[in-house]
Amino acid sequence: MLAASSSRSLFLALGSTRLLLPTCLARIVSLSARKMSTTASTSAAGPSNANAFLEAVKTRRTAYAINSESPIPDARIQEIVETAVKHCPSSFNSQTTRAVLVFGKNHQRVWDITKEKIKAIVPADAWEASEKRLNGFQGGHGTVLLYEDQDAVRALQERAPLYAEHFPTWSEHTHGIHAFTIWTALTAEGLGCSLQHYNPLIDEDVAKAFEVPSSWKLRAQLVLGKPVSGPAEKTFQPLEERVKVFN
């Protein structure tokens, strides 16, 4: 029963693109679809839904001034991350993104590791400013460590050599989509977040501390906490120079 409904979803989902897929890749997608649970297609969304989404997009900002509190329980933060990881798109539905959530003393540990690593490489007279910045992140409530599983990327490359050069790029795109979704959703619930990149400096020590599989490659650290001030002013480039429309 499950296999039958899975095959039907696959056929509907692939539609015309199936014609473009090499047979080997169509087989990968087909096998993956059989292994995975399926979700019924989503309901039709009206214009008001788009506005709510766009409002959340506009509200998301970088927040550096945060404290160790959270306006929502950790379980809700986990639910948001899990929802994003489950439903965000990925190339050929490869689902390469992984996440590690750290709160409390585990959050402190990530930023102790980062401080140690940064202190070892910055000139002595630059350490004070770096330490102040890192203390800001450490003073937050938690961190979402975002990874891309390189085993999953390599498996796709081996099974579909025709697309091999694209899979690492598509994995990065997938990471970006996840980072943005989680950032936007957490902000919509009242958290302040910023996206940090102390990888690859901290990768090894963080992996040891949290038993992260060696194939998971750290891509970003999303720091979160209760915002204690509003975001900085933001400037915008003219849209006419960035968007072209042909009616």
Ligand X SMILES: Cc1cc2nc3c(=O)[nH]c(=O)nc-3n(C[C@H](O)[C@H](O)[C@H](O)COP(=O)(O)O)c2cc1C
**Closest C-alpha to 92, from 166, 149, 151, 42:** 166
Among 61, 109, 119, 154, binds ligand X (CB under 6 A): 61
Among 195, 205, 209, 210, binds ligand X (CB under 6 A): 195
Q: Does 130 bind ligand X (CB under 6 A)?
A: no
Alpha-helical regions (H) of 189-241? 203-209
Encoded one letter per residue, x for contact with ligand X by CB under 6 A and - for no contact, window 197-226 reads: x-----------------------------
- Least distance from C-beta 123 to ligand X, angstroms? 20
- Least distance from C-beta 35 to ligand X, angstroms? 31
Q: Between 6 and 221, whose beta carbon lies closer to ligand X?
A: 221
Q: Does 173 bind ligand X (CB under 6 A)?
A: no
Q: Rg of the Cα trace of the chain?
A: 21
Among 90, 114, 171, 194, binds ligand X (CB under 6 A): 194
- Least distance from C-beta 235 to ligand X, angstroms? 10
- Distance of alpha carbon 224 from alpha carbon 194, whole angstroms: 7
Dihedral sign computed on CA atoms, order 106, 97, 170, 62 = negative
Q: Does 171 bind ligand X (CB under 6 A)?
A: no
Gap between the terminal Cα atoms of the chain: 47
Choose the binding region for ligand X from 5-13, 34-42, 76-84, 191-199 (rule: CB under 6 A).
191-199
Dihedral sign computed on CA atoms, order 126, 127, 133, 134 = positive
Dihedral sign computed on CA atoms, order 97, 98, 101, 105 = negative
26 close to 13: Cβ distance less than 8 angstroms: no
Encoded one letter per residue, x for contact with ligand X by CB under 6 A and - for no contact, window 226-245 reads: -----x--x-----------
